[in-house]
Each structure stands twice: as C-alpha cells, then as structure tokens.
Amino acid sequence: MFLVTGATGGIGRRVVRLLRQREQSVRSFVRLTSRYSELEHRGAEIFIGDLRLEKDIQKASQGIRYIISAHGSDGDALSLDYRANIELIDQAKVNGVEHFVFISVLGADRGYEDAPTFKAKRAVEQYLEGSGLNYTILRPAGLASNLLPLAERFRETELYLLIGDRKNRTSIVSTDDLARIVVDSVAVEGARNQILPVGGPEIFLREDIPKIFGRIFNKEPVVINSPLFVIDGLRSALGLFNPQGQTALGTYRTLLANEFFCTKEEIANLEAIFNFQLETLESFLRRYLAV
Ligand SMILES: NC(=O)c1ccc[n+]([C@@H]2O[C@H](COP(=O)([O-])OP(=O)(O)OC[C@H]3O[C@@H](n4cnc5c(N)ncnc54)[C@H](OP(=O)(O)O)[C@@H]3O)[C@@H](O)[C@H]2O)c1
C-alpha cells in the first residue's frame, strides 16, 4: 500500500491516477475540504486528516509500504513543509516503510535565506538522507500544469503577466512525466538513495512562454512585464497585517528572482535512469488545451 500526501494536488492527483492504473493499492491523505471524489472513484482509499496533526500522520502511516510526500504548504512552511515531513519520515521508520519519495524543489540547496519553503525542503532532505530509509528526493523545476490557467487566460485576453527578469532561464517539466518519475522511483534501481533535479527537455527564457502560448492559440502575445519591486512593495504592505503571508511571499519572490533550470546532462541522466523521453512543454500544453 502506498500513502500519498497532497493527493489532490497537481502532482499528487496524477500520482494516484497512475498508481491506480497500475492496480496498486493507494491511501490518499486528504482534508475534509479537499476535492477528492475522483480519487475515490479510481479506487483509492481515502484518509481524511490534517498534516498539521501528528496523530493523523501516525494513523495514516499504519500498514504502509511506500510513502510519497507530495503535499504543499499553504504558506505554512514550518508546519507542512518541515514538521509534517519529519513526522512522515519518523512514521516510515516505525512502520518499516520500504521506500520514501520526497518532492523537494530545484534550488533547495542554494541557501536562499528569505525562502522558508526552500529551507524546510533542504532540512527535510538532510533528515531523510540520514534516516536509514531507502529514499528518492526529486527536485522539480516549475510544473507545466501551473501554466494551464495562465494559458486559458491568454486564450481569452492575449495578455501575459511576467514579473521580474524576462531573460531568466527555466526548464518546466510535464507534470505527467514527473508523476511517472515519482511512481517509478520506488522500483528503479538508479533512483534509490538519489537526489535528482527534474526539469523538462528544453531550457527556456521566461519570455519564451508567452511566445509558446501565441503559437498554440495563433495569437500575438501582449506581455506586461512588471518589475520585482512590485512584489517587494506588496510584501511590505502585507507585513503590516499578515506576517505569515509576508513570509510566504519570500518564497514566491525567490522563485521569481532566480533561475530554475536543469542542465542537458541532468536531463540526459534522468531519461537514462527512468528510460523514457521527457515531453516538451508545448506538447503538454497542446494535450491539455486540446489544440
Ligand atoms: N508547483 C510547482 O511548480 C512546484 C515546483 C517544485 C516543487 N513543488 C513541490 O511539489 C509539491 C506538490 O506541489 P503541487 O503544485 O502539486 O501542490 P498543490 O497543487 O499546491 O497541492 C497541494 C496539496 O497539499 C495538500 N495540503 C495542503 N495543506 C494540507 C494539510 N494541512 N493537510 C493535508 N493536505 C494538505 C492540498 O490539499 P487540498 O486539496 O485540501 O488543498 C493539496 O493536495 C509541493 O511540496 C511543492 O513544494 C512544486
């Protein structure tokens, strides 16, 4: 039995689908407010709880063979990116889990001081490495599925909002490819006890994304390029009445201010380990947008 946290998220939902297609038994950790009926229809067991609560993690981990940690943090990096994962790792040890897959983030090891999620991910990576468990740590760049709502907005308005440096490089990965890598990690020898950067097969400049949208929809993009200090202003204002939101914006700012791409060698290594060719961003978008 697999335990999947973040089972209703962009990655987790695809992981559960794939596991069920392969007729694996899955326990999906969801909240009462989560939209989980699809997972139930696919035959996943539903565990309702909150990852902020240790007792829920303890209960959900019973009788589990593999753990896939794919939850997000809702802006609360300490409780969810950090504590919940530490508790999942501890429970994996208690329950003799055979393999733990942790979704980290590209750049977790770069020491970004102002980004709580990155710091929490690195601390969890180190805890997992020292746990004695079999593990795979995946460090994805941006996910292609994040672009779908932006593409839909572009389809209607031809507008694309680009915050920060338009020349920053990125290698966006097909979320379906990432899900396949996650699921295969528990069985593929080359993925055992590895930290793997995960990106798509191409390195783009951020300004290439509206060009891809333009090609897909046959429309000329109108790019609104806002400078990063807009985010800084927003952060200062938010700090007055919502300090947690201000801290979370630090992670967002880090994502906007830096480059997140994988080298050609890293992608070749990934394709060799998992034995398939990664999908391009344009192909992913065309599949989902039916164009
Ligand atoms: N998105 C990216 O571009 C990207 C890039 C690199 C790494 N990552 C990492 O990949 C992981 C998954 O990202 P994603 O984009 O797939 O996530 P997502 O779509 O934002 O989904 C987050 C998931 O976490 C669940 N969750 C949040 N708080 C919870 C709580 N207190 N108890 C139980 N479940 C809770 C959510 O449940 P609900 O449905 O109830 O909200 C949802 O299923 C994250 O760790 C993220 O840091 C993401």
Q: Is the CB of residue 48 below 6 angstroms from any atom belonging to ligand 1? A: no
Residue whose CA is at the smallest distance from ligand 1 atom 5: 142
Backbone angles phi, psi at 42, to 5 degrees: -80, 0
pTM, 2 dp? 0.96
Residue 148 is which amino acid?
L
Q: What is the tens place of the pLDDT at every residue in 48-83?
A: 999 999 999 999 999 999 999 999 998 899 999 999
Asked if 48 and 30 touch (Cβ cutoff 8 Å), the reply is yes
pLDDT digits (tens, 9 = 90+) for 117-144: 999 999 999 999 999 999 999 999 999 9
Q: Is the CB of 74 under 6 A from ligand 1?
A: yes
Nearest CA to ligand 1 atom 22: 72
Pick from 31, 59, 67, 195 the residue to mutate for probing ligand 1's pocket: most ligand atoms within 8 Å of its CB. Answer: 31
- Which token pair is 285? 């978008």
Residue 260 DSSP code: B
Q: Which atom of ligand 1 is nearest to the CA of 142?
A: 3
Q: 2-141+174-199+262-278: which CATH architecture?
A: 3-Layer(aba) Sandwich (3.40)
- Residue spans of the domains in the chain: they are 2-141+174-199+262-278
